[in-house]
């Protein structure tokens, strides 16, 4: 019989629904308790997903109902909740970003190491069929030696659709901290760590008008840059360009991610999805892109696979893939791009990461290696 790890979910907002749906499909984990500062949210999710315990955040963190905390709070609370959980002997899997400051992230990793616990962090989309296929193709030399990469995430901002969009424009938010983790996690798990960055950023409007209910018509004060452009020098050699923006409400034709090598080009699917589109390749002399189907599993919406992988890794003693080291490096990159813009300089990174092990091919949903 597979050992089930008891998961306690804190933060029953929008993103919790897909986690709860998917966690129920993994044989090695079970959500046994939920908590939220607004107990009505926790009660609603417990009823919808047949979860036996509705607790306060403190009861969940300090009690004995769960083994691991799934931390889906707003970014500003990620570190506080995680540190409390680690102090109470529980490993943590955070929604992205890992924390809002480098200091808090470092403290989390240090405490986890001291207490023999694990830190995991979203996004886990790099474990999906598309990005696992992209990694396989890169490692096999499908485009030769990678030379450069570009990544673009351009949209009009969350105030048009999110029911509570304020945190998107507060510390820990903005397009880079909200969506950047998907793109930077994809790039670093494909190409390895970044050694140096520079960038430019701006706040294009000091206030935004909410277009969604229940706060429609109210103003949001903007504290963070809403258009951010970064240049990345990867330790392995390639130069990357990443732009994230909440200032582009209209359409554009820029790719999500493209990687260029000495032997061709690769177009990578949206890193906020798991396998919606095939990887595209183009070699010198070819007029069109070639679609490369993926031999990997997790092509459907699979949020939670990183958590399930971490739980399996704890039992078997191996490293887990959606780990705190990668998330800390991504956080460092994001801060450094903002700092480079303010300083008008290049910023050398002090963090590092190792590309997580790839998944085996042909897994079905719920399957994970020991």
Where do the structural domains in the chain lie, given as residue ranges? Answer: 5-121, 126-292
What is the per-residue pLDDT for 171? Answer: 87
Overall CATH class of domain 126-292 = alpha beta
What is the per-residue pLDDT for 172? Answer: 85
* Closest among 294, 296, 266 to 278, alpha carbons compared: 294
What is the per-residue pLDDT for 235? Answer: 98
User: Rounded mean pLDDT of the chain?
Assistant: 97
Q: Identify the burial level of 213 via C-beta atoms within 10 angstroms of its C-beta, where 0-12 means exposed, 13-18 middle and 19 or more buried.
A: exposed
The tokens for 260 are 């260029």
* Closest among 278, 284, 249 to 264, alpha carbons compared: 284
* Closest among 165, 267, 263 to 214, alpha carbons compared: 165
| Segments in 169-222 forming alpha helices (H) | 174-191
The model's pLDDT over 217-235, given as tens digits with 9 standing for 90+, comes to 999 999 999 999 999 999 9
* Closest among 329, 340, 343 to 195, alpha carbons compared: 329
What is the per-residue pLDDT for 1? Answer: 62
What is the per-residue pLDDT for 363? Answer: 97
The tokens for 295 are 């031999």
- Please say whether the beta carbons of 23 and 304 come within 8 A: yes
Q: Distance from CA of residue 8 to its chain's centroid?
A: 19
Neighbours of 337 (CB within 10 A): 27
- Name 202's bridge partners: 227
Apex CA 193: angle with CA 192 and CA 197, to 5°?
130
- Please say whether the beta carbons of 70 and 303 come within 8 A: no
Task: Specify the pTM.
Answer: 0.96
* Domain 5-121 grouped into CATH 3.40.50.720: yes
What is the per-residue pLDDT for 2? Answer: 73
Render each residue's pLDDT in the chain as its tens digit; 370 residues. 677 999 999 999 999 999 999 999 999 999 999 999 999 999 999 999 999 999 999 999 999 999 999 999 999 999 999 999 999 999 999 999 999 999 999 999 999 999 999 999 999 999 999 999 999 999 999 999 999 999 999 999 999 999 999 999 998 899 999 999 999 999 999 999 999 999 999 999 999 999 999 999 999 999 999 999 999 999 999 999 999 999 999 999 999 999 999 999 999 999 999 998 899 999 999 999 999 999 999 999 999 999 999 999 999 999 999 999 999 999 999 999 999 999 999 999 999 999 999 999 999 999 999 9
């Amino acid at each position: 019989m597979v050992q089930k790890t008891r998961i306690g979910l804190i933060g029953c907002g929008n993103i919790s629904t897909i986690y709860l749906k998917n966690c129920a499909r993994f044989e090695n984990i079970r959500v046994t308790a939920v908590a939220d500062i607004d107990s009505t949210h926790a009660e609603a999710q417990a009823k919808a997903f047949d979860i036996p315990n509705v607790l306060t955040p403190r009861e969940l963190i300090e009690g004995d109902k769960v083994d691991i905390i799934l931390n889906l709070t707003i970014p500003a609370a990620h570190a506080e909740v995680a540190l409390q959980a680690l102090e109470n002997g529980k490993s943590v899997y955070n929604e992205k970003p890992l924390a809002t400051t480098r200091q808090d992230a470092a403290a989390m990793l240090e405490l986890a190491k001291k207490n023999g616990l694990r830190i995991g962090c979203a996004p886990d989309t790099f474990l999906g069929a598309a990005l696992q296929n992209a990694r396989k193709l890169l490692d096999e030399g499908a485009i030769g030696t990678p030379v450069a990469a570009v990544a673009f995430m351009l949209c009009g901002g969350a105030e048009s659709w999110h029911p509570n969009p304020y945190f998107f424009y507060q510390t820990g938010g903005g397009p880079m901290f909200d969506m950047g983790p998907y793109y930077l996690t994809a790039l670093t798990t494909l190409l390895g760590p970044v050694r140096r960055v520079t960038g430019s950023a701006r706040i294009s409007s000091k206030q935004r008008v909410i277009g969604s209910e229940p706060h429609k018509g109210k103003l949001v004060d903007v504290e963070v840059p809403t258009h951010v452009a970064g240049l990345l020098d990867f330790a392995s050699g390639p130069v990357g360009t990443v732009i994230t923006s909440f200032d582009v409400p209209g359409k554009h034709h820029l790719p999500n991610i493209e990687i260029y090598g000495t032997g061709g080009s690769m177009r990578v699917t949206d890193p906020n999805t798991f396998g919606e589109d095939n990887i595209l390749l183009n070699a010198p002399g070819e007029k069109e892109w070639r679609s490369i189907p993926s031999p990997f599993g997790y092509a459907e919406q699979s949020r939670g696979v990183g958590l399930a992988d971490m739980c399996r890794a704890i039992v078997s003693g191996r490293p887990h893939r959606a780990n705190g080291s990668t998330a800390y490096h991504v956080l460092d990159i994001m801060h450094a791009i903002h700092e480079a813009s303010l300083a008008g300089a290049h910023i050398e990174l002090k963090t590092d990461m190792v590309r997580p092990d790839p998944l085996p091919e042909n897994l079905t949903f719920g399957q994970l290696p020991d």
